[in-house]
Chains A and B, each alone.
Chain A
């Protein structure tokens, strides 16, 4: 297993008041994403547990792209990965952000 953590500073907090949300399932090619509104409004942290080692730079790029698109300030994101492809990870992150806004 490999653990990765990425911290970002955002320009604004993620809209909405929902305290937490979860999306996805830990299955082959899939992942679960847990979002919690527990950080200062300009901070975002993404912690990943994955059985597929050696893809740190890809995770870093996918997370940076998500942060730039969603500006998820205030959100701590925890991921249990089942070997998802980068596009699936991107989709789940955006789904999660949308759930938090709802």
Chain B
């Protein structure tokens, strides 16, 4: 049965549905599939249920006929969080990329960060993943992050996203390190009201990340939109060298100087040159892309 990529919502789809629909039909072959039962050795200690794939699907497939490696996190299993096995599968995939040399590695983020029940192993996995991505990129293989799941890319997942060659994000996708509830708990509701969904999305959501150059493509919430974005971004991966790193440092320093005194994302958008910042959250993907085209700084080769 053919999948309708236009009709399938990225946000609603499971990790397995995303992988199957994103890649060329029937091309996906999983590594360490559920039948291998590589489950968490830690969760039973906490009387918590395990998943056969520990919440991440990894394997190889084709995108437009070109070979790719792919990892997809399942945001509904423990918030897509990194446990020991989960992290090891992602690190293993990235290390395999150095030998296989695919056209790209695609990481379908959907994670709240480290799984607290296996925090040390999870933190280690985050660090190993970032190191592995740096090595893969240094070998000339682009690593593309796709972010549009309900868990977003938070905690260590947000850090890993920052090491990718390119990122595509949808309206529902969020990228940050500390989650809204974490900020509120530490700094108070006056600083950040985690129940104010509009505030959360305009501070951490896909549109803000795209406008400020934190993501390189904005997608409507469909698998076809993410597939298009992935195809385009693979061809636009920046170099991985000292010049790129220095450009990124300069970009971030500049961003702080330009926007450091802003009290709300709408102020940032206004300063970027968006005519009607209050209209941004309601824009559809096409109108938003036109807005992005009208501001400076959203497209860059710093990373």
Query: Which of A20, A78, A81 is the one whose CB lies under 8 Å from B49?
Result: A81
Q: Please, which residue of chain A has its CB at the minimum distance from the CB of B16?
A: A22
Residues of B within 8 A of A80 (CB): 49-52
Q: Is A70 at the interface (CB under 8 A from chain B)?
A: no
* A30 and B50 contacting across the interface, CB-CB below 8 Å: no
Q: How many Å lie between the Cα of A25 and that of B49 in the bound state?
A: 11
Residues of A within 8 A of B1 (CB): 102
Report B65-93 CB contacts with A as 1/0, cut-off 8 Å.
Answer: 00000000010110000000000000000
Report A43-69 residues with CB < 8 Å from chain B CB. 49-51
* B34 and A25 contacting across the interface, CB-CB below 8 Å: no
Residues of A within 8 A of B51 (CB): 25-26, 32, 80
Taking A25-B76, A27-B76 as contacts, is the C-beta distance between A20 and B48 under 8 angstroms? Answer: no
Interface majority SS on B: helix, strand, loop or mixed? Answer: loop
* B77 and A20 contacting across the interface, CB-CB below 8 Å: no
Residues of A within 8 A of B16 (CB): 22
* A25 and B35 contacting across the interface, CB-CB below 8 Å: no
Q: Is A1 at the interface (CB under 8 A from chain B)?
A: yes
Report A68-82 residues with CB < 8 Å from chain B CB. 78, 80-82
Report A78-96 CB contacts with B as 1/0, cut-off 8 Å.
Answer: 1011100000000000000
Number of B residues, CB within 8 Å of A: 17
* B49 and A34 contacting across the interface, CB-CB below 8 Å: no
Q: Is A42 at the interface (CB under 8 A from chain B)?
A: no
Residues of A within 8 A of B33 (CB): 20
Query: Shortest distance in angstroms between A77's beta carbon and chain B's nearest beta carbon?
Result: 12
Query: Which of B37, B47, B50 is the one whose CB lies under 8 Å from A26?
Result: B50
Residues of A within 8 A of B34 (CB): 20, 22, 32, 34
* B35 and A26 contacting across the interface, CB-CB below 8 Å: no
* A27 and B35 contacting across the interface, CB-CB below 8 Å: no
Report B24-47 CB contacts with A as 1/0, cut-off 8 Å.
Answer: 000000000111010000001001
Q: Is B14 at the interface (CB under 8 A from chain A)?
A: yes
Query: Which of B47, B48, B52 is the one whose CB lies under 8 Å from A32?
Result: B52
Q: Please, which residue of chain A has its CB at the minimum distance from the CB of B48?
A: A51
- Listed in ascending order, the chain A residues whose CB lies under 8 Å from chain B are 1, 20, 22, 25-27, 30, 32, 34, 36, 49-51, 78, 80-82, 102
- Listed in ascending order, the chain B residues whose CB lies under 8 Å from chain A are 1, 14, 16, 33-35, 37, 44, 47-52, 74, 76-77
By Cβ-Cβ distance, the 4 closest A-B pairs, closest first, are A27-B76, A26-B51, A25-B76, A22-B34
